[in-house]
Amino acid sequence: MANKRFGIVGFPWDGGASLGRPGARYAPKEIREAVQWFQNRISDRKVYDVERRRLVDLNDVDMIDYGDIEIVAYSREATFENAERKVKQMLQENTFPFVLGGDHSISYPIIKALHEQSEGNIAIIQFDAHLDLVDDDPIQGKYSQSSQMRRALELPRVEAKQIVQIGVRSYNYPWYAEYLKQNEIVQMTAREVHQMTAKEVADQALDACAGAEKIYLTFDIDVLDPAFAPGTGANEPGGLTPAQSFAILDHLYPHIDAMDIAEVNPLYDHQQITTSIAARILFDCLTQRSIVNHN
């Protein structure tokens, strides 16, 4: 049974945007405002889902806004500790954490919180254009937007074979060739996803996660093609479409235990296109999980 409490928490941090464009700190506010477009359609705690032709009863899910993580601008360590503490509190209250980033470095303390509140393995499903497995770098350091998956792999109960990367593409550092041979990370490139059905992608991801106690899902908005999501930290042509992503995510929402959206950057957005997609994902997650609870 999914959590009956759906918690939103903002993580307005882009201190890890070492190579990508900074500005994701403004996303939580913008996404909250954009989601009101969907919330306006709720009446008597019900909303009609046009695409699925069903009436969604939201009485089983309390949507709670936990505010923002307390940011300590001069200290990444203190900020991440605050994030970890806040998400642990949410998990202890049986609340599903939906975290609004923030650059992608924000995922690590959230994954760590889920890890420390669990006893078994933590699987991770990552929607992303990039692999984010950089260990350390003179420019980026160890806790940048390029390193959160590498840091997550250092946690005792996170295994490479239970990490799934969806939508990765383009070109990357040559050392990745050997690293990926030595580690059993499951990857579905953007080109491969374009040739698969949404259910095939989701089933392959969930098969890789089998046996894990908890599943974390992180959605970097740059998994989408820049044509659909201009407001992000870096442009990588050849990405997924919103419709593809919505369909894959629908299959995953009932199975996950925490989620974040990262790298939405309002400073580079146009007419709130990117933030509106993030808001739609948030509202889809809420409604899909309410269906699970209701049934």
Cα gap 203→265, rounded to integer Å: 31
**Continuous H helices in the chain:** 27-39, 76-92, 107-116, 148-152, 175-182, 190-194, 198-209, 242-252, 273-294
Cα gap 111→262, rounded to integer Å: 13
Q: Beta strands 186-189 and 163-168: pairing type?
A: parallel
What's the chain's length in residues? 295
Cα gap 208→161, rounded to integer Å: 7
- The answer to whether 260 is a known ligand-binding residue is no
Give the residue carrying structure tokens 């989620």. Answer: 259
- The answer to whether 130 is a known ligand-binding residue is yes
- The answer to whether 222 is a known ligand-binding residue is yes
Q: What is the DSSP string of 202-223?
A: HHHHHHHHTT-SEEEEEEEGGG
Cα gap 196→175, rounded to integer Å: 28
Question: HSE-up of 96 (CA within 13 Å, CB side)?
Answer: 30
- The answer to whether 128 is a known ligand-binding residue is yes
H/E stretch holding 10: strand 5-11
Cα gap 224→244, rounded to integer Å: 9
Residue positions forming the annotated binding site for Mn(2+): 104, 128, 130, 132, 220, 222
The binding site comprises 104, 128, 130, 132, 220, 222
